[in-house]
Chain A
Amino acid sequence: MIYGSAGKDHVPGKPVRVTINGRQYRAEEGETVLSVAIREGIPIPHLCHEESLDPYGACRLCFVEAGKHGKREMVTACTLRVAEGLEVTTDTPTVTKHRAILLELYLAEAPKSEVIKEMAARYGVMKTRFLKKMETDDPLGGKCVLCGLCVRACTEIMGAGAIGFINRGPYTEVNTPFLEPSADCYGCGACVKVCPTHAIVMEDSGSERVMKSWSGTRVPLAQCDCCGRYYAPKELAARTLSALDPQLERELAGLCPSCRGKQIAEREILARQGGAGNHA
């Protein structure tokens, strides 16, 4: 059995056939039903799934009914691995009923999120019977649904661990430890990128990147030697370059992506004309 994400160290699995809503699809053993559905354009709502991370199963929106030989069980599609002969039905009456309640809970939890409103509306939920969470100084602007993706991207993908969960249960929030500016934050913006509700606020201001949602964490930016633009978090730029071939690193260090592009293009042209030396 494979439990890790199919995305990591990808070894193709055995081909299998699954049936989703009566149609057969090809898939690889080890893939999740949600991955197959996304690839095939079958709508299954989800908030906590990210292909490059292990299944997490927190948002509970991706429920489907699935089973073999006519048996049916309600399961989350993001944790369900495909298997030969697996039959999946999305949007059954039971799934729809529970999903509607979950969406009402989301509408109350993140009343400012347009993404949630649209998603709820797509499933016929226009308003919530539950008391809406109203916080005036919420650093995530009433949009966070605690899907955990930002924390996991920061920890598991970037290895920074700058943000984490604070408290637990209904008091859970995401932020930096002790709500202090983080020294571990690279300012990479991976959290911003994975956030499904666009709740995280990040702004570049002069020579600094300000992680507004993360206790005002400030990260210095690198300035391009050529055009003078601030282009990337300093430390992150250095770290990324250090993974490259040393000569290449020397040539590219200090340049923003567009100047870098120009320089490479120039050199390639020269090289073809037999001008500058080759870089191996």
Chain B
Amino acid sequence: MRVEAEADLKALQATGLKKLKPDKPRIAVGLATCGAAVGGRKVYDRLREAIAREGAEIDLVQTGCIGYCREEPLVNITLPGKSLVILRKVTEADADAIVRAVLNGKVPEDKALCRVPAWDHVTGFVMEYGKGFDAIPLYQDVPFFAPQRKVILRNAGFIDPEDIGEYFAVGGYAAAWKALHGMEPEAIIAEVEKSGLRGRGGAGFPTGLKWRITRDAPGGAEKYLVCNADEGDPGAYMNRNEMESDPHMLIEGMIIGAFAMGLRHGLIYIRSEYPLAIERLGRAIGQAREYGILGENIMGTGLSFDIRIARGAGAFVCGESTALVASIEGRTGRPHPRPPRLTDPEGGLFGKPTDLNNVETWCNVPAIVANGSGWYAGIGAKGNTGTKVFSLVGKVDRVGLVEVSLGTPIRTIVFDAGNGGANGKKVKAVQTGGPSGGCIPLRLFDMPVDYESLNKAGSIMGSGGIVVMDEDTDMVDIARYFTGFATGESCGKCVPCREGLKHTLLLINRIQAGKASKKDLATLQEVCETIAATSLCGLGQTAPNPVLTTLAYFREEYEAKVRP
């Protein structure tokens, strides 16, 4: 069936709701890569066997991930009319007990993490699950979730990412309908501008402005819209989860962008290391085409827009805009100087003006269109509106994906959501922004997480990795690790990055081997400053951050290792 009238969407939503809230029990296993990695698939299989054995009337589905990685595998149980209950750390051995409890109208409460009486899916639909299970804590009272605000991960962990029906159920594609049928392209761009949305790929460029520049560039509809899903930072996996848990939200964002910019070709550049995300995106694109939401005459508007997937081979530098274009075109991923920018005439993909946005940037768009720019601008801080998903990893107690309003202090993320150091250790610092971010010491943890504050502290937002270090962490070793990563990922085109990082690494190795002197520290500082100031692309420009910030904030650790 093709979606050609608003009534079609409403009908699809009603059908979808029957799956999401059936009149029989539903068990959903969190099967994003993170859930699968800790045995989620086996849990799913055992549950299926148990249900078959009992001949039970129970729906068994898979969902994405709600973000609480430490507690996985997570399993949701919905009993008709009752609150949804999330079970934590479910093992194969629990399968029989779960099915038996469900058949008795119960849930295994000893396994329960929390209950969800109602869930706001943000794009205009609030799911009322029902009451009951009062002894189980409420979702919002779970310390990991309490400081969070879910806008991007609005559906993650609740819907089946492989079923467009469940996306329709939670109000999916209604924002695209509203945009395509009820708004002028100019009005959409104005809304995105007013929302204050800034690119989530790291640099924080105003998204509405980039769209406007692309729209105004010559080339008619023969321009490109590209989603950057390269996510090459070690320790960062929010984009992966966004695509694995809710691929249609990305597609919907891209459709709205395509209409606003007046173009017809879309591409998702994604690393091959994300096979599940690629599979789910491919399936989602296929489903969207079936429903006439992608392809020719989308949603009965006469417009055409389609999305193709381009797979990268996982080079970190290919996330950089000009290298990304080279990679898609089949050339070596080596950046070139800008201008020309991708949005310039002849500057983008296949020589056409191109808009490039990060996965998460696109995912915000349906929420903005659905609720208005005023609503969005009210979240977060001035100049840093909206939420951001961070992957909280390293030596932190509660590992997972944390979505908070921009401007939330680091302390809230690491201590309130993350519960401080793992195994009761004291937290010493965090590193933000992926391999080229800086290390921020504990004493600066009251700093709000926003683009400008992080830059001022010598770090970056990057795509949103937060790696926690504790009292046992050797900060020089941290600097060595990240420098080693950047050295290996340098494309080798320009001398400061190619040669400078290599010598930075050699110098740190000398320090670690106890063979360096104070003079070497000065050399280290100088070469890092030059790499940052003179490199051609963002990789080299930011790669010295781990060294420069540890030299600034943890100098005593370096000094303890060098001769005077």
A contact residues vs B (CB 8 Å cutoff): 1, 3, 55-60, 63, 74, 76, 79, 94, 97-98, 101-102, 105-106, 108-109, 129-131, 145-146, 148, 165, 167-172
- Picked from A1, A76, A170, the residue with its CB within 8 Å of the CB of B498 is A170
Query: Contacts A1-B344, A170-B487: A60 and B535 contacting too (C-beta < 8 A)?
Result: yes
Question: 10 extra interchain contacts, Cβ-Cβ under 8 A, other than A60-B536, A109-B495?
Answer: A1-B345, A58-B493, A58-B495, A101-B526, A102-B534, A105-B495, A129-B523, A146-B492, A170-B492, A170-B501
- Indicate which residue in A63, A98, A169 contacts B488 across the interface (CB closer than 8 Å): A169
Q: How far is the CA of A56 from the CA of B322 in the complex (A)?
A: 13
B330 is an interface residue with CB less than 8 A from chain A: no
Which residues of chain B come closer than 8 Å to A60, judged between CB atoms? 494-496, 534-536
Distance in angstroms from A45 CB to nearest chain B CB is 12
Do the beta carbons of A63 and B534 come within 8 Å of each other? yes
B501/A57 in contact, CB under 8 A: no
Question: Can you spell out 6 A-B residue pairs with CB atoms less than 8 angstroms apart?
Answer: A60-B494, A98-B530, A105-B495, A105-B527, A106-B499, A170-B502
Query: Within 8 Å CB of B345, what residues of A?
Result: 1
B318 to chain A, nearest CB (A): 11
Interface of chain B residues 400 through 448 with chain A (CB within 8 A)? none
Q: Which residues of A contact B526 (CB under 8 A)?
A: 101
Residues of B within 8 A of A171 (CB): 492
A168 CA / B326 CA spacing, docked (Å): 15
Partner of B503, one of A76, A97, A108: A108
- Residue interface mask B482-517, A partner, CB < 8 A = 1: 000001111111111011111100100000000000
Contacting pair A148 B503 (CB below 8 A): no
Structural contact, B346 and A131, CB atoms closer than 8 A: no
Total number of residue pairs linking A and B with CB closer than 8 Å: 99
Interface hits, B138-161 → A, CB 8 Å: none
B336: Cβ under 8 A from any A Cβ:
yes
- A98 and B533 within 8 A (CB): yes
User: Is B272 at the interface (CB under 8 A from chain A)?
Assistant: no
Bound together, the chains give a CA A60 to CA B335 distance in angstroms of 14
Cβ–Cβ contact B494 & A58, under 8 A: yes
Residues of chain B contacted by A94 (CB below 8 angstroms): 533
Q: A23 vs B506: C-alpha distance in the bound complex, in angstroms?
A: 44
Q: Smallest distance from the beta carbon of B19 to chain A beta carbons, Å?
A: 48
Q: How far is the CA of A231 from the CA of B493 in the complex (A)?
A: 36
Quote the shortest CB–CB distance from B505 to chain A (angstroms).
9
**Chain B hits for A131, CB < 8 A:** 503, 506
B130 at the A/B interface (Cβ < 8 Å)?
Answer: no
- Complex CA gap A147/B372 in Å reads 50
State A171–B499 Cα separation when bound (angstroms).
Answer: 10
Chain A residues with CB under 8 Å of B488's CB are 169
For B500, the chain A residues whose CB sits under 8 A away are 101, 105
Q: Which residue of B is nearest A148, CB measured?
A: B493
- Of residues 319 through 374 on chain B, the ones whose CB sits less than 8 Å from some CB of chain A are 332, 334, 336-337, 339-340, 344-347
Which residues in B have their C-beta under 8 angstroms from that of A170?
Answer: 487, 490, 492, 498-499, 501-502
Q: How far is the CA of A56 from the CA of B335 in the complex (A)?
A: 10
Q: How far is the CA of A3 from the CA of B345 in the complex (A)?
A: 10
Residues of the A chain whose Cβ atoms lie less than 8 Å from the Cβ of B530: 97-98, 101-102
Residues in B whose Cβ lies below 8 Å from that of A63? 534
| 0/1 string, B523-540, CB within 8 A of A gives 1 | 100110110011110000
Q: Does the CB pair B339–A3 fall under 8 Å?
A: yes
- The list of the 5 closest CB pairs from A to B, nearest first, reads A172-B492, A57-B337, A169-B490, A101-B530, A170-B502
- A residues near B315, Cβ cutoff 8 Å: 168
Residues in B with CB closer than 8 Å to A102 are: 495-496, 530, 534
Given A60-B535, A98-B534, also A3-B346 (CB < 8 A) = yes
B498–A146 touching, CB < 8 Å: yes
A108 to B495 alpha-carbon distance, docked (Å): 11
Q: Which residues of B contact A108 (CB under 8 A)?
A: 499, 503
In the complex, what residues of B have CB within 8 A of residue A165's CB?
332, 334, 492
CA distance in complex: A129, B488 (Å): 22
In chain A, what residue has the closest Cβ to B497? A169
Give Cα distance in the complex from A1 to B500, angstroms. 33
Q: Which residue of B lies closest to A57 (CB)?
A: B337
Contact of A1 among B339, B503, B535 (CB under 8 A): B339
Asked whether B535 lies within 8 Å of A169 as measured between CB atoms, the reply is no
Chain A residues whose CB sits within 8 angstroms of the CB of B489 once the complex forms: 169
- Give chain B nearest CB distance to A63 CB in angstroms: 7
A168 touches B490 (CB 8 A): yes
Contact A106 B495 (CB under 8 A): yes
Q: Taking CB as reference atom, which chain B residue is nearest A59?
A: B495
Shortest distance from the beta carbon of B351 to any chain A beta carbon, whole Å: 11
A145 close to B495 (CB less than 8 A): yes
**Do the beta carbons of B499 and A56 come within 8 Å of each other?**
no
Residue numbers in A under 8 Å from B495 (CB-CB)? 58-60, 102, 105-106, 109, 145-146
Residue on A nearest B332 in the bound complex, by CB? A165
Say which residue of A55, A98, A129, A148 sits within 8 Å of B337 (CB atoms). A55
Tell me the complex Cα distance, A222–B387, Å: 70
B332 vs chain A, min Cβ distance (A): 7
B529 contacts across to A, CB distance below 8 A: 98
**Residue from B332, B495, B534 with most neighbouring chain A CB atoms (10 Å):** B495
